[in-house]
Amino acid sequence: MQRIDFTATDGHTLAAHRFDPHGPVRGHVVIAAAMAVPQAFYAPFARYLAKRGYTSWTFDYRGIGESFTGPRRRLKADLGDWLYKDYDALLQMISAASPRDPLFVVGHSFGGQVAPLLPSRERLAGVVNIAVGSGSSRHLRPRVRRTAPLMWHVLAPTLCPLFGYFPGSRIGVVGDLPTGAMFQWRRWCLTPEYLLSGEPGAREAYATAAYPVLALTFADDELLDESGSRLLHEAYRQRRVDYRLVEPAHHGLGRIGHFGFFKPQCEMNLWPSVAEWLDRAGAWRRRNEAG
C-alpha cells in the first residue's frame, strides 16, 4: 500500500491509497465509499483485489478521513463536489496514467448511487454496486423509516447551523458531514425516488450509462429495503444489470447487512465472485477495443 495525494479538479488536495499487485496488472479498481465512511474501512478488500491482479485505489472525499483539514465548520462542500471534483478527478488521473488498462469502480452505497453521473463514466469498463439503493423514506427499513423524520426535520436543520457542519459522530448518526453535503442528501431522501427525482439530470444519466453493472443487494440490509435497490438498478436502460439478492445463510454467513461485505468474513464466500466478474468484464473490454 502507498499513500497518494492527488488534486481535485478545483485544486483541493485529497488522500488516496494505492494497493499494487505483485504480478501483471489486470486493471484498476477505484473503491468509492459510502456516506461518511473513511477509506481505511475498505483496505482489506483492496488488498484482496491486489492479490487478484488489480491495482486497487481507496480515497476520501473532501472533509472525510484523511482528506479532512479543519476546522470542519469552514468546509464548504456538497455531494456535487465529492462527485464531480473529487471522485472524478481520481478516475481521470488513473485513466491518464494507464489508458490501456480496464478501469472499474466498486461503489458502496453512495459511491455506487452516483456512478452514472460521473463525467468520466465512459472510461469505465464496469461498475460493481455494493448495497446500493434508494435512501428515500419509503425505501427504508421500518426501524429507520420511523426515525427518518427526526433526522431530516429536527437534527439536520438544528445542528448544521449550530455547529457549522453535521456532527454525526457526536450523536452516533452517520458521521460528520459538511453542511452542504448533508442538505443535498436530505433533499434526495425527501423525494419519492431519491436522487432520480431529487437531483437534476440523474434519471437521464442512469438511462444513458452504457457500462456493465454487477449489483449485490443484501437481504439483511438493516438500512435500505430491496425495493429501493430495484428502483435504481431498473433505471439503467442501456444494459441489463447483473442483479443478485444475497442471502447470508446461502453463503455460510450469519450476517452481512449494509456494511458487512467489506469485512474479512466475506473473503472466502463473496469476494471471489466479484473478482471473477471483474475478470470477465475486463476481458470483454479488451476484446472490444482490439476489434
**Nearest to 277, CA basis, from 209, 210, 213:** 213
Q: What number is the average pLDDT over the span 231-248?
A: 97
For residue 291, the model assigns a pLDDT of 63
Q: What number is the average pLDDT over the span 29-33?
A: 98
C-alpha to C-alpha distance for 85 and 82, rounded to whole angstroms = 6
For residue 73, the model assigns a pLDDT of 85
**C-alpha cell belonging to residue 208:** 444513458
For residue 289, the model assigns a pLDDT of 78
C-alpha to C-alpha distance for 119 and 222, rounded to whole angstroms = 32
**C-alpha cell belonging to residue 210:** 452504457
For residue 286, the model assigns a pLDDT of 80
Residue 233 φ/ψ, nearest 5 degrees: -75, -25
- How many structural domains compose the chain? 1
Q: How does pLDDT run across 62-89, given as a tens digit for each residue?
A: 999 999 987 888 888 999 999 999 999 9
For residue 71, the model assigns a pLDDT of 85
For residue 170, the model assigns a pLDDT of 92
C-alpha to C-alpha distance for 22 and 52, rounded to whole angstroms = 9
Burial class (CB in 10 A: 0-12, 13-18, 19+), 141: middle
For residue 6, the model assigns a pLDDT of 97
For residue 121, the model assigns a pLDDT of 97
Tally of residues, the chain: 291
Residue 288 reports pLDDT greater than 90: no
C-alpha to C-alpha distance for 56 and 31, rounded to whole angstroms = 7
Q: Kindly report the pTM of this predicted structure.
A: 0.96
Look up the CATH number of the domain holding residue 151: 3.40.50.1820
What percentage of residues in the chain have a pLDDT greater than 90?
93
Please state whether beta strands 165-167 and 242-246 pair in parallel, antiparallel, or not at all (unpaired).
Answer: unpaired
Q: How does pLDDT run across 100-115, given as a tens digit for each residue?
A: 999 999 999 999 999 9
Range of the domain at 72: 2-290
Q: How does pLDDT run across 178-215, given as a tens digit for each residue?
A: 999 999 999 999 999 999 999 999 999 999 999 999 99
Neighbouring-strand partners of residue 176:
167
- Cβ neighbour number for residue 235 with a 10 Å cutoff: 19
What's the CA dihedral at 24, 27, 32, 38 to 10 degrees?
10
Q: How does pLDDT run across 240-271, given as a tens digit for each residue?
A: 999 999 999 999 999 999 999 999 999 999 99
- Cβ neighbour number for residue 149 with a 10 Å cutoff: 12
